[in-house]
Structure 1
Amino acid sequence: MPDLTDLGLSKYEAEAYHALVDAGPTTARELSEVSDVPMGRIYDVLGSIESRQLARSQDASRPKKYVAVDPDAALDRLLAARERELDAEADQYAAVADELRGELTEPPEPDEGYWTAEVGADDAVERLVEQIDDADESIYNVSHTVPTSIDVDAASNRIGDHLVDALERGVTIRFLVSPTLLEDVADDPKLSRLEAYENFEARVGDSVHGDVTIVDGVEVRLDLPNPIAPDEAFAVIDLTDPSFATRVREAFDRGWVAADPIDG
């Protein structure tokens, strides 16, 4: 259950404020007696919540009395202070990330090809988004069907946004799709967003029977269906191997030449 400590108060500060709200104007000694704040700490705690504008003191009274600020105002002040702290932390982390970007260099290309694997629809989508964001020159995609295990609306919205970002960067994107997939996405307004860019093209071909993506001519993504339920996504294999990617690209080009442009 949330309490005032979630908004930045210490345990004693939260206890003192609660006790002030319940007790009304009271002295430090009286507040210590009705709360869990020991007498040896009560003045420091009261000074702290007063500096946070959560309490006010009546200096004219002897002994001095304290009164709580209205809870709505107190919560607004705590929330605003917490937001300022978080904004400052976010700025600090952003500055650290910017500094590290200048220190960390791109890893060298491997002498030999290597591969990685992701299992499950969610991980497959996450990896595809990373690949789109990493693309510098080109993304060539062959798509046969949309797996039933993927939340199509959520995934296509997210992927579409990242594809638009890539097109804005000048990345060439070509989609080669099957007639079956074209029927599923023909009326999708997200496709129209992509068609507005000159560096985007899409064609439909009868020979499309799998799902492959080639990124920057060196990385090949192979989407593997579930062998028990072929309509479901099972795993993704990523191969980084320029010579293999070249052979896949040549096959893509043959299919692209034989395919028909999709009318926008």
Structure 2
Amino acid sequence: MVDSYDLDESLQTIMEWGKYEAAAYRVLVRYGPLEASEVVVRADIPQGRVYDILNNLHSQDAVVKQGVQPTNWDAQNPRKLIEPNQRRFEDMAVEAIEALEPAYDLNLESESHPAWVTTGVAAASVKARELFEQAQERIWILERTFWLSSRDKDLLQSKAEEGIDVRIVGWSGRQALQNVAEEIPSAKFREADKVDTSFYVGDEGTVLINLNQGDTGMLFHDAGTAKIFTEHFASIYESANKVHA
């Protein structure tokens, strides 16, 4: 059975919610109609934030109000709420394949194919760490979920201290972004309002695309592919807001 933390993380990713919206919705599904004060206790939400959180969920048709003085809040059907976003993620996966496949096909006849696919969190994290370790000039990270381990964060901090250009852009909806910024204080952190995927750009045309919250990685050693992602990262980084550790 999925624990509360993992479920909240999934809701944040799928619904693009903050941690309090995810927790509030989860407890309303679990316990049924509740007053705001009960949501505060069960979801561990600050008292001063609860009405903003519930009203935000209400504006997205994720919860409904029942009665007045007191008002009860109840969750909408999870399947009807989540399935449209599930289809959106599936559409994003199809679009990514369609965008990347031509580059893959162009290199099929080369003696050494420039792309590898890794499956499983362990394999994907190993490839990411290899990219970090081998970098001598830059490590540019666009990250939606921040599944990086303590070892990865220590490595990034060490690289940044060596003078390597370590830049990280995260999704502003993730509370974990501030925590990571504090753990890698020498890196340049920014937050963006919208981050649809995760990828890492290293030296000499190396790019690792991270899919499914670290479960699958697509690694490219190809200058043309790297240029596309480098330009995309630079555009997002330029418009993102600074995060101060």
TM-score (structure 2 length as normaliser): 0.51
- Alignment-derived partner of residue 118 in structure 1: 118
Q: 1:237 aligns with which of 191, 202, 218?
A: 218
Gaps of 5+ in 1: 1-109, 147-151, 226-231
Gaps of 5+ in 2: 1-109
**Is 1:138 aligned to 2:130, yes or no?**
no
Report how far residue 220 of structure 1 moved. Answer: 0.8
- Alignment-derived partner of residue 191 in structure 1: 181
State the Cα deviation string for residues 109-128 of structure 1 (Å, max 9, x = none).
x9986011211001111221
Q: 2:203 aligns with which of 201, 216, 229?
A: 216
Aligned-residue identity in percent: 18
| Structural mapping, 1:1-264, within 5 Å | 114-146=114-146, 156-181=149-174, 183-186=175-178, 188=179, 191-195=181-185, 197=186, 200-225=187-212, 232-264=213-245
Cα separation, 2, equivalents of 1:247 and 1:112: 21
Runs (4+) of structure 1 exceeding 3 A deviation are 110-113
- Alignment-derived partner of residue 53 in structure 1: none
- The one-letter amino acid of 2:156's match is L
Greater radius of gyration (CA): 1
- Alignment-derived partner of residue 56 in structure 1: none
Cα separation, 1, equivalents of 2:113 and 2:243: 35
User: Contact 1:217/1:249 (CA < 8 Å) preserved in 2?
Assistant: no
CA RMSD of aligned residues (A): 2.1
Report how far residue 224 of structure 1 moved. Answer: 1.4
User: Contact 1:113/1:241 (CA < 8 Å) preserved in 2?
Assistant: no
SS at match of 2:163: coil
Cα separation, 1, equivalents of 2:182 and 2:233: 23
User: Contact 2:181/2:244 (CA < 8 Å) preserved in 1?
Assistant: no
SS at match of 1:180: coil
Cα separation, 1, equivalents of 2:193 and 2:222: 28
State the Cα deviation string for residues 196-234 of structure 1 (Å, max 9, x = none).
x2xx21111113111011002511111111xxxxxx533
Cα separation, 2, equivalents of 1:256 and 1:112: 32
SS at match of 1:136: coil
User: Contact 2:128/2:200 (CA < 8 Å) preserved in 1?
Assistant: no
Cα separation, 1, equivalents of 2:155 and 2:172: 24
Cα separation, 1, equivalents of 2:119 and 2:149: 19
Report how far residue 143 of structure 1 moved. Answer: 0.7
Distance change (3 Å), C-alpha of 1:241 and 1:179: same
